[in-house]
Structure 1
Amino acid sequence: MSPTIVIFGANGFLGRYLCRHLTRQGKQVVAIARSRSGWSGDGMFLEWDGKSHGPWTFALEGAEAVINLAGASVNCRYHPANRKRILDSRVDSTRSIGTAIAACEAPPKTWINASTATWYRDARDQAQNEWLGEHENGFSFDVARAWEEAFFSSQSPAVTRKVALRTGMVLANETGTVFSVLKKLTARGLGGTMGDGGQRVSWIHMEDFLRAVDFVVDEPFLDGVVNVTVPEFPTNREMMANFRQLCRMPIGIPSPRPLLEIGARLLRTETELVLKSRWVDPLRLRDAGFRWHYPEMRSALKDLLARPGLEGFFKDTSCRSVGARGWVPATR
């Protein structure tokens, strides 16, 4: 039988793409989420509440990998109820998966748990050691710390390799995502700098994110914390210039912090998502031999423009390499 990969949070943004990606590779995918809403339809679906054990625990037996992407969206206002929901959804799901893996007779080979690049604010320090980067303060960092503590403190068997993916902003041409929102703003002449424009942006093309997951699954000696971004971390000013070029829009009205605060309240989100600087160097991924198809934002945005939505993203793979280690430049 083909290897089984279990994906938690399978109906989320990353989960949907990962389910489609892995099934196209011939893997047996078990998709687990709170509801079928948003699920890509790839693999076998099992429902759970994000914290309780149930029939899904049997899917972990002998799995090649367990990938936990579960967690409530951070694109909301950070009032107390939402803060609790964001934190609990990550910690509870991670602990539940950990106890289920500990009870397996044939534990999975690898457990990959989502984390976030919000740990870092200065690449100069964390480039030396991905465990000991200069930490940020505040709610986002508190969530990241609790999330990883739940992951690494779980009493899973020693035979199960554990990897925390500290992932930057993943770009795909999907409605409601960063790419879609910034493209619309830019097309309306609102694609200027946000805040002072000096904040750094850690990002990765969806295709490289999927390949990085493949790479981690296939690399038996890679464990612990792995940063999943491209080596480039442009400023917000540079990123918005790339979007203006993509949209062929010569005008970009800037958005100072007070204006962003008003917009964030109207959109029920937080300015932190665009004003917080994230400098991340994917040192371990690079040193292990991973190579990016889209290491520069300009080429990444151009590629994604022609690949709208889940179906558009996967509609043509004839000119792209298959697998995590191959690197063949796109020919179109």
Structure 2
Amino acid sequence: MNPQIVLFGANGFLGRYLARYYQLQGREVVCVARSRDGWSGDGMFLEWDGKTLGPWALALEGAERVINLAGRSVNCRYDERNRREIMDSRVASTHVIGEAIAACKVPPKLWMNSSTATLYRHAEDCPQDEWTGEPGTGFSVGVAQAWEEAFFAAQVPGATRKVALRTSMVMAYEDGTVFEVLRHLTRRGLGGRMDAGNQRVSWIHMDDFISAIEFIAAEPWRDGVYNIAAPEHPTNRELMQAFREQQGAPFGLPASRWMLEIGARVMKTETELVLKSRWADPLRLRQEGFRWRWPKLDTALADLEGRYGLEGFFHQPDRRSAGVRVWTPGKKIAAGSR
């Protein structure tokens, strides 16, 4: 039997890509989620409720790796109900996974738990690394702190290594992702700066997100907290300029704060997702020798343009060129196009 990978929240954005990656690697993958909706079909599927022990806990026995990505999407309005669900979905799932690992006769070798780069304070003046970074304030920061507290407080056997992944915005090209939304706005002439445009943006290409997880898992001494981000941290102004250049957009109308507030209400989301400055420095990855395949934003955007959807992402021709882009609003590039 191949070493077993157990993915929680496997029907979400990151979970589907990891499940497909491990399946293509020939690994035995167990996907755990509240429902099959969104599941990629890779590996074995087990259902859970995210808060109580169940048959799914048996999959953790002797597992090589447990990766918890469970948590309600933050792309919503932060009303009382959504705030409660966002918090509970992260903390409760982490608690119950800890209980399941504690009860294992042969505990997993590694437990990776999602966290977020949103934990750090609003920073336009200096990067925030794992050692000296300062937490900010507000609801999102409170969620991140409660999430990590539940993770590190879980009393699991010493044989189980723990790693918290403070992940920045992960870019892949499919509907509803950061990449697709900003691409969509840019192609309609709305790809200008947002507010002052000075807020920093931490991001990472999906290829490097997956590679970072493999890099951390490879050495038994790597534990604690890791910032999962690219080494380049553009301002929002620079980010939108890169999108305009990639899409061949001749202009991009800027959006003031009041315009963003209206747009956020219409889209049923929060302006914090684009206005907060996130400058998460992946210091540990850099110091330990991780090599990014896509360290630069412009080349990352060019690569993702031709890799639409899960199938397109993992279908990589030997040679691929971004080519010359002509600004044609509303046109979607097909998977694998050149």
TM-score by length of 1: 0.94
**Is 2:291 aligned against 1:291?**
yes
Determine if contact 1:125/1:134 at 8 Å carries over to the other structure. no
Q: How much does 1:250 deviate?
A: 1.3
Where in structure 1 do 4 or more consecutive aligned residues deviate above 6 Å? none
Deviation, 1:276, is 0.4
Distance apart, 1:126 and its partner CA: 3.3
Q: How many residues align?
A: 319
Structure 1 residue 132 displacement after superposition: 4.0
Backbone CA RMSD of aligned residues = 1.4
Match of 2:102 in 1: 102
Please report how far the alpha carbon of residue 285 of structure 1 lies from its aligned counterpart in structure 2 after TM superposition.
1.2
Which residue does 1:93 correspond to in 2?
A: 93
Partner in structure 2 of residue 67 of structure 1: 67
| 1:23 aligned partner | 23
Equivalent residue of 1:76, what SS?
coil
Q: Do 1:8 and 1:31's aligned partners in 2 also have CA atoms closer than 8 Å?
A: yes
Q: Give the aligned partner of residue 154 of structure 1.
A: 154
Q: Which residue of 2 aligns with 1:269?
A: 269
- Structure 2 contact 127–280 (Cα < 8 Å) conserved: no
- 2:246 aligned partner: 246
| SS of equivalent to 1:164 | strand
* Alignment check: 8 A CA contact 1:119 1:133 kept: no
Q: Which amino acid in structure 1 is aligned with residue 294 of structure 2?
A: Y
Q: Residues 87-116 of structure 1: CA distance to partner in whole angstroms, max 9, x if unpaired?
A: 000000000000100000000000000000
Q: Please list every run of 5 or more consecutive structure 2 residues that lacks an aligned counterpart in the other structure.
A: 321-337
Deviations 1:52-94 (A, max 9, x none): 1111111001101000000000000000100000000000000
Which residue number corresponds to residue 234 of structure 1?
A: 234
Give the Cα–Cα distance (whole angstroms) in 1 for the partners of residues 167 and 317 of structure 2. Answer: 24
Aligned to 1:126: 128
Task: Write the mapping of 1:168-187 to structure 2, written as runs, cut at 5 A.
Answer: 168-187=168-187
Aligned to 1:314: 314
Percent identity, please. 64
Q: Which amino acid aligns with 1:161?
A: R
Partner residue, 2:7: 7
Aligned position for 2:326: none
- Between the aligned partners of 1:26 and 1:225, the Cα distance in structure 2 is 28
Between the aligned partners of 1:262 and 1:21, the Cα distance in structure 2 is 39
Using the TM superposition, give the Cα deviation of residue 189 of structure 1 relative to its aligned residue in structure 2, in angstroms: 0.3
Which amino acid in 1 is paired with 2:45? F
Q: CA offset at residue 124 of structure 1?
A: 3.8
Is 2:170–2:205's contact at 8 Å kept on the other side of the alignment? yes
Q: 1:135 to 1:45 in 2, by over 3 A?
A: same
Q: Contact 1:76–1:269 (CA<8 Å) still a contact in 2?
A: yes
Q: Counterpart of 1:304? A: 304
CA-to-aligned-CA distance 1:109-164 (integer Å, 9 cap, x gap): 0000000001123484633xx14411111000000000000000000111100000
Deviation at 1:319, TM superposition (A): 7.0
- Give 1:220's aligned residue: 220
* Distance (Å, rounded) in 1 between the aligned partners of 2:127 and 2:19: 35
For structure 1, the 5+ residue unaligned runs are: 321-331
CA distance in 2, matches of 1:239, 1:192: 9
Residues 165-217 of structure 1: per-residue CA shift (max 9 Å, x gap):
00000000010011111101000000000011000000000000011111111
Alpha-carbon separation, structure 2, partners of 1:200 and 1:64: 36
Would the aligned equivalents of 2:32 and 2:48 in 1 still touch at CA under 8 Å? Answer: yes
Q: What residue in structure 2 maps to residue 325 of structure 1?
A: none
Alpha carbons of structure 1 residues 78 and 136: separation in structure 2 relative to 1, 3 Å: same
Q: Is the 1:170–1:203 Cα contact (8 Å) retained in structure 2?
A: yes
Show the counterpart of 1:46.
46
